[in-house]
Amino acid sequence: MNVLQEFLELVPVENFEAQYSKDITESSFFEYPLKPIVEAEKRLIDSSQTSIGYFSMEYGLAPSIYHTLNRQEPLSSSNKFTQHGVFSNLRSMDTYFTIRIDKRLDLPIYSGGLGVLAGDTLKSTADLNIPMAAVGILWNKGYFKQNFWFRDGQRPQEMQWDPQTYPGLIPLKNRIVIKFKNETILLRPWKYYIYSFDRSFVVPLILLDSNLPDNSDFGKKLTDQLYRSDDETWRLFQRLILGKGGIGIFEEMQYQLDLFHLNEGHAAFSFIESSKGHSVEKIKEIFSKFAYTCHTPVAAGHDRFHESVLAPVLDEEDYKLLFSYGKDPEYEGVANLTTFSLNAAEKVNAVSHKHEEVMHMQFPNYSKKITSITNGIHTYTWLSEAFSRLFDQYEDRIGPWKQDPTCLKNVLNLKSDPAFRKALWDAHQENKKHLTSLLEVWKVDPNILTISWARRIAAYKRPSLILQDVDRLMEIGAKYGGIQIILAGKAHPMDNLAETHIDEMLTAIDSLDNNRKNVRVVMFENYDTYFGKLLSSSVDVWLNNPLPPFEASGTSGMKAILNGVVQMTTVDGWVCEVTQNPIGWFFGYEHKGGDIGSESELRLNEDSVKLYETIEKAADLYCKTNVKGELQIESTWIDMMIECIAVSAHFNTHRMVKEYQEKIWKEMLSK
C-alpha cells in the first residue's frame, strides 16, 4: 500500500477530494513529510507501544514563527492577521498608522502562557520521540479580538477565522456523541500534527468541534469562544467536552494510551468519563494512570461549579463521583475541579520550585503527592534567526545545541572572547532594528534603552506598574538620553479589574503626549506569539513584575534570556531559581513563607518606587554600553547577556519534558 492510502485509512479526512487532495499527497502533508504521520498513527493504535494522552483547554501553536505548514492556494485573508493598532504618546500617528506585517493568524485556540506551554510541550515531546496524542477544542471564534478605545480601554470583538482553509488543519469523518440529562452533543474531531524539529516524528493533536448542523443552537455554540465565562452552564459544558469528549475521541481513534496527563484541572471530567460503570476498586486503578499539572495559585484559575448548575446536566453516576472526589473544601454544594484532580490523580506537579512551596501552603493535605517541574520554552520556536546564526557560528565552542539545547550553558566559555561579545551585540542590534523599523513612525530608535512588558493582562501581573509615576519616567529619560517602553497584552473580557488596568495605562500614556522627546511609550493591540517572539528577542530589557507569590512560573522571561535580553524582574515563579545568576536586576516585594497573602494588595506604590530606582541603574549602564551607537565591549551588560543565554540552557521544554518522563511518567508506568 502506498503512504497516502495508508494515511487515509488511518485518518479518514472529511471532504478529502474537494478540499485537501492538493495539499496531502504521497510525499507531502502541507509541504511537510507525510510518512511520520502514518508512523505516529500506527504507533498509537499499537498496544505494545507505550503512549501518553495529553489534555489541555488551549494550545499556543505558532506556525507564523515555527514550522510553517503551507497550502498550494494562497493563505485566505481570514487566516491572516496583518494589522495591529497602536496607542502611543505620539497620538497623531496612532490615527494614521498601524503596525503592518504580512503574517498568518496563530491557530486561534489559546489565550496566553498556559496554551503556549502546552504547544511547546508537544513540540519537545515530538523532538524527544515520545509517543503522545493530545486533545483540545477547536475554538470556532478563537479567543477574541482586541481593540483599544480611548477612555473606554479595551473593546473585545468577535474573532473570525476559517478552520477549513487553515494550513495543516483537517476535519475527520468520525463523530462521537456525549449524552447529558438535558442535552446530547455531537462532536467532530479535527487533526493538526506537531512535527519534531527535524520533521521525522509527529504528535497528533485532536481538536473537538461541536459546530455541527445536528446539534441544538446551544450545542453548536459551545466550541465558539475559549474561556467564555458569562454563563456558568456554558463554562461547565466546555469542561465536559474537553474531559469526556477527550476520552471519547481517544477511544474512537482506538489509541492505546497507557497514561493521561492533564494540563490544568479543566479536563477533570476525563477522570469521570474513564470510570463510568466501574467498581470503586477499579476506579482507583484507573485514576492511578492520571497525572495532573497545576498552573496557578490565583483563585480564578480554579474551576468551581454549584450544584444548581450541575444537577440539571449530569446523570446520577457522574454527579456522585464528582462530589465524592471533588467536594469544594470551603463552599457547601460546590464541586471544585482542582480538588477533584488533587484527590484523583496519582501524581501532581507544580510548575516551579516556588509554586511547589505555594501549593504546599494552599493544599497541605496533598503535600506528599505534589512535586515540582519547572516550566520551559521550546528553544527552536523562540530563538531568533540572528541568534540561531550566532550559535551555529560558534557551534564548535558551544556544542550540538540543536540536538540538545542544554549545551547553551557553554557560552560562558566565550565570555572573554571579544569577537563573540561583538557578534552577540550585533545580533541583538539586528533584532532590535527589526522592531524599531516596524515602529519607525513612532520614532522608536535602535540606540535608545528599550524596555518591554508584554503578556496576558491580569491584576497580579501589575501591567501598569511602570506607568505609576510618569514624571519620574520623564526625569530618568531626560537624564540618560531617553527611554522607550513597549507594552502589549489582552485582558480576559470578563475580568473587570484587568480592564481597569488597561484604562489606567492608556490614560497614563496619553498624559505623556507633550513629553515624547525623552520617553516614548507604544502599546499595541492583539499581542500574539509573533509579537511574543519579536519583543522578547529585540528589546534591551524584559520587564516582569508580578506580585509574589502569584506567578506560578511565567515563561516570557525564558524566551528573552535565550535571546540575550536581560531581565528586570520581581522574584517570583521561575525567577526564584536564578537569583544567584547575574542575568539582570531583581527588585520589589519578596514573598517569604507563612501564608500566601492577598492578591488584591498590589503594592503598586512601594514597588514602582523600587522599579524606577532599578530603571535608573539600567539606564546608567546602558548609556555606558551603547554610547550613541558605539559599543563599549567590556561593559558588564554584555556579561549579563551571556549569563542569560547560559541560564536558558535549563529553562526549556526539552529539559522539562525529560523531567516529566523521569519523575512522573516512568514511575507511573512501572506500577
Ligand X SMILES: *Cc1c(COP(=O)(O)O)cnc(C)c1O
Site map (CB under 6 A) of ligand X, residues 420-459, x = contact: -----------------------------------xx---
- List the one residue out of 417, 460, 631, 650 whose CA is nearest residue 540: 631
Cβ nearer to ligand X, comparing 116 with 618: 116
Contact call for residue 205 and ligand X (CB under 6 A):
no
Q: How far is the CB of 271 from ligand X (least distance, A)?
A: 28
Q: Which stretch binds ligand X (CB under 6 A): 13-21, 29-37, 109-117, 504-512?
A: 109-117
- Which residues are CB-neighbours of 581 under 8 A, at least 6 positions away? 643, 646, 647
297: left (phi over 0), alpha (psi -120 to 50) or beta: alpha
Q: What is the 3-class SS of 113-181, one letter each residue?
A: HHHHHHHHHHHHHHHCCCCEEEEEECCCCCCCEEEEECCCEEEEECCCCCHHHCCCCEEECCCEEEECC
Residue 195, phi then psi, degrees to nearest 5? -85, 150
Contact call for residue 248 and ligand X (CB under 6 A):
no
Cβ nearer to ligand X, comparing 193 with 527: 527
Residue 554, phi then psi, degrees to nearest 5? 85, 140
Contact call for residue 572 and ligand X (CB under 6 A):
no
Q: How far is the CB of 471 from ligand X (least distance, A)?
A: 28
Site map (CB under 6 A) of ligand X, residues 539-558, x = contact: ---------------xxx--
Contact call for residue 528 and ligand X (CB under 6 A):
yes
Cβ nearer to ligand X, comparing 33 with 156: 156
Cβ nearer to ligand X, comparing 196 with 556: 556
CA distance between the termini of the chain: 39
- List the one residue out of 337, 339, 195, 197 whose CA is nearest residue 269: 337
Cβ nearer to ligand X, comparing 343 with 529: 529
Contact call for residue 56 and ligand X (CB under 6 A):
no
- Tell me the residue nearest to ligand X as measured from the CB: 532
Contact call for residue 264 and ligand X (CB under 6 A):
no
Q: Which stretch binds ligand X (CB under 6 A): 88-96, 165-173, 524-532, 590-598?
A: 524-532
- Amino acid (one-letter) located at 412: L
Contact call for residue 538 and ligand X (CB under 6 A):
no
Q: Which stretch binds ligand X (CB under 6 A): 111-119, 172-180, 277-285, 352-360?
A: 111-119
By CB under 6 A, name the one of 36, 53, 63, 113 that touches ligand X.
Answer: 113
Q: How far is the CB of 355 from ligand X (least distance, A)?
A: 12
Residue 441, burial from CB neighbour count under 10 angstroms (0-12, 13-18, 19+): middle
C-alpha cell at 152: 473606554
DSSP per-residue letters across 599-639: TT---HHHHHHHHHHHHHHHHHHHHHHEETTEE-TT-HHHH
- List the one residue out of 401, 405, 413, 402 whose CA is nearest residue 376: 405
Q: Which stretch binds ligand X (CB under 6 A): 197-205, 213-221, 407-415, 528-536?
A: 528-536
Contact call for residue 112 and ligand X (CB under 6 A):
yes
Cβ nearer to ligand X, comparing 520 with 533: 533
Q: How many residues bind ligand X (CB under 6 A)?
A: 13
DSSP per-residue letters across 218-282: HHHHTTSSTT--SSHHHHHHHHHHHHHHHHHHHHHTT---SEEEEESGGGTHHHHHHHTT--HHH
Cβ atoms within 10 Å of 502's Cβ, excluding its own: 23
Q: How far is the CB of 540 from ligand X (least distance, A)?
A: 17
Q: Which 611-670 positions form the footprint of ligand X (CB under 6 A)?
A: none
CA–CA distances in Å: residue 99 to residues 82, 85, 352, 531: 8, 6, 36, 11
By CB under 6 A, name the one of 59, 387, 527, 637 that touches ligand X.
Answer: 527
Q: Which stretch binds ligand X (CB under 6 A): 150-158, 295-303, 468-476, 521-529?
A: 521-529
Query: Which residues contact ligand X (rule: CB under 6 A)?
Result: 112-113, 116, 455-456, 527-529, 532, 554-556, 559
